[in-house]
Homo-oligomer: A and B are copies of this chain.
Amino acid sequence: MESKREHLVQFIPAKKSIKIPHGYNLMQAIKDCGVRIESPCGGVGTCGRCLVRIKEGKVSTKKTEFISAEEKKKGYVFSCLSRVESDLVVETFSESEVSAKIEKGIFTEMDSKEYSDINRSEISSVEIDPWIKKAAITVEEPSLSYGTSDLFRLKKSIRQNLGIKDCLVPVDIIREIPEILRKKNLEVSVTVDSREEKLIDIKAGKAAGKSYGLALDIGTTSLVLYLADLGSGEIIASESEYNPQISFGEDVINRIVYAGRKDGLEKLREVVLDSINGMIYKLIFNSRIKADRIVSMMIAGNSTMMHLFYGVSPKYIREEPYVTTANKFPDSSAEVLGIKRIKKARIYEIQGVASYLGGDITAGVLATDMYKKKELALFIDLGTNGELVVGNSEWMMGASCSAGPAFEGGGVKCGIRAVDGAIEKVAIDRNSYRCSIEVIGGEKPGGICGSGLIDVIGEMYLKGVIDRKGKFNKDIGNKFLKRDGDIYRYILVDGGSTVDGKDIYITEVDIDNLIRAKAAVYAGIKTLLEEVGLGINDIEKIYIAGGLGKHIYIRNAIVIGMFPDIDNKKYFFLGNTSVTGAYLSLLSKSKYEQSSKIAEKITYIELSVSMNFMDRYVAGLFLPYTDMKDFPSVEKISGKPDEDAKNSF
């Protein structure tokens, strides 16, 4: 019987092992074996000190908010919560190793990329003046001749110290006032929402202390969360995770479909809330900040993500005439929205423009300076969708170009997201047609991500592997082109060198999908410009944002006809501008107000019904474009030996 089986558990680096019965507690096994392990919480899964990593074998482990799905996939478990279910190889850590993991937030092994690409100039110039303020104040003494209420005197003091004329104090706080005022002789620390002119929290004594805020980007694919000091603006810590809604649909359309099922909306809301709550908990845990010091959270996301987060059906986003229920949801308390641990915090949302141009794009524009300057700028956010804004301080137009998920690996046989093992850069040898690759994380490749795909298409075109229509040239003696029935596969990496022993290749169907995606982006840019009588050459600056954007080799994006063929120096990479814009709005009242002004200023163009867009799109189904005049620098080198291409990286 299963329960009578025994398993061999080996511990590294200790090089000790022990035989224990099936279902035995892993921490107990470690102790039995004489390996040193800490458990100050007494084995209830709250201290995190008994962290181990399962290198081989299987355990059943109780869920804990400390460990994300991603970390679990990497084998991290709390030994106290785990039962042995097979032979195991278990890596244990010294006390200092665990401390390092806990203190540096290594649980998620988040790299520093996320916030290194914040637009530093915008951030350094922001005046720190958040909606939520903390202050230590002294309330006037009552007297027989001045017998006004506690509330009146408290409000007076708030008015004098924080300039809020008539601060609303909710009943639940009023209930605490009599004792709090008198506890430390009328000295109190108040937390005030200057946007709603409302008292959020009050404590006895003058130790106002620091207050913190969160900036959250809810992307279709990823969630990114910053914890910031609202006094200094410093980002204390950050977290990023996949949006768990992915398992219910890769893109917004599939999410909307799922939300329409019975309990679908609630399910989608629940899973993303769980992730966000988990991320908040980790930030609190890792940063050792008291939860009640986090007083606000600013959220940006596309319209569908925001509908799902607020529990509102996104159904009509997908039905003509494509309207949202709201482009901006009202300020709410964390508690009302199901955000735990920081229940009293205020939750703000960055206003969106339209169904397919959400608050993430507004936040993106806020993170640039395009809304302040006269020069004509183009903002491109390449995530699961592709969104565009063109304009300057006078006017702005925006559109979603429905690029589809090709650049995130969707609709491409060997396409994967930009995770460890993804091919992110590709070059092709002009003579042998052999690919050179760079892999994220430097391990064996398991697939190819967006930036790699752009490189592949660009390189294949420049080296003659495919023609302008994206069809394989079968007469060039390309020995990496293999036939499987009617389908040709261009082998990028032989199975002998991949993580799962299978070839990584590309087909004409894949190429077709990618060409359609790039055609949509470029057609969107052209259409927007032409709406106001401008052309590609009028663009003075191009901002590239989004998870994909930051890894793109710009030259190849031009070669395939996705990005405008203008001077490289006009391109600027900003990374995740959605979270940056949210972060700026978190720190500054005026930035937040600016974001709504931006959203209201952007004129939305629905490309899916634009004949002009359709014409440009069809023209874009060639490499780089039907009319080569649009891509003069590509025309020069097409089909010829090309120095640029040789020096791809």
Contacts and interface: CB of A to CB of B under 8 A. Distances in A.
A96 interface: no
A355 B171 contact: no
B327 A171 contact: no
Contacts of A148: 323, 327
A442 interface: no
Copies of this chain present: 2
Interface in A131-181: 142-144, 146-152, 168-172, 174-175, 177-179
A312 B177 CA distance: 9
Contact of A169 (B144, B313, B330, B606): B330
A511 to B, nearest CB: 33
Interface string A121-133: 0000000000000
A321 interface: yes
B312 A143 contact: no
A171 B338 CA distance: 12
Interface string A300-341: 000000000011110110001111111111101000110000
A152 B327 contact: yes
B327 A149 contact: yes
Given A171-B336, A330-B168, A330-B174, A150 B311 contact: no
Contact of A178 (B144, B149, B325, B354): B325
A604 interface: yes
B147 A604 contact: yes
Nearest to A354: B147
A168 B331 CA distance: 10
B321 A147 contact: yes
A174 B313 contact: no
A476 interface: no
A609 interface: yes
A325 B606 CA distance: 56
A322 B144 contact: yes
Contacts of A327: 148-149, 151-152
Number of chain A interface residues as a range: 35 or more
Contacts of A604: 147
Contact of A326 (B142, B147, B151): B151
Given A322-B144, A323-B142, A316 B150 contact: yes
Contacts of A142: 321, 323
Contacts of A315: 178
Nearest to A323: B142
A113 to B, nearest CB: 34
Nearest to A606: B144
Nearest to A182: B316
A273 to B, nearest CB: 13
B321 A171 contact: no
Contact of A329 (B174, B312, B355, B606): B174
A336 B148 CA distance: 26
Contacts of A177: 312, 325-326
B606 A147 contact: yes
A310 B175 contact: yes
A369 to B, nearest CB: 28
Contacts of A169: 326, 330
Contact of A323 (B150, B172, B316, B328): B150
A149 B600 CA distance: 12
Contacts of A332: 170-171
Contacts of A316: 150, 178, 182
B178 A311 contact: no
A575 to B, nearest CB: 29
Contacts of A172: 336
A292 B169 CA distance: 27
B174 A326 contact: yes
B330 A171 contact: yes
A507 B522 CA distance: 102
A322 B150 contact: no
5 contacts: A149-B327, A151-B325, A151-B326, A171-B312, A177-B312
Given A148-B327, A175-B311, 10 more contacts: A146-B321, A147-B354, A149-B327, A150-B325, A151-B327, A171-B311, A171-B329, A174-B310, A174-B312, A178-B313
Interface of A: 142-144, 146-152, 168-172, 174-175, 177-179, 182, 310-313, 315-316, 320-330, 332, 336-337, 354-355, 604, 606, 609
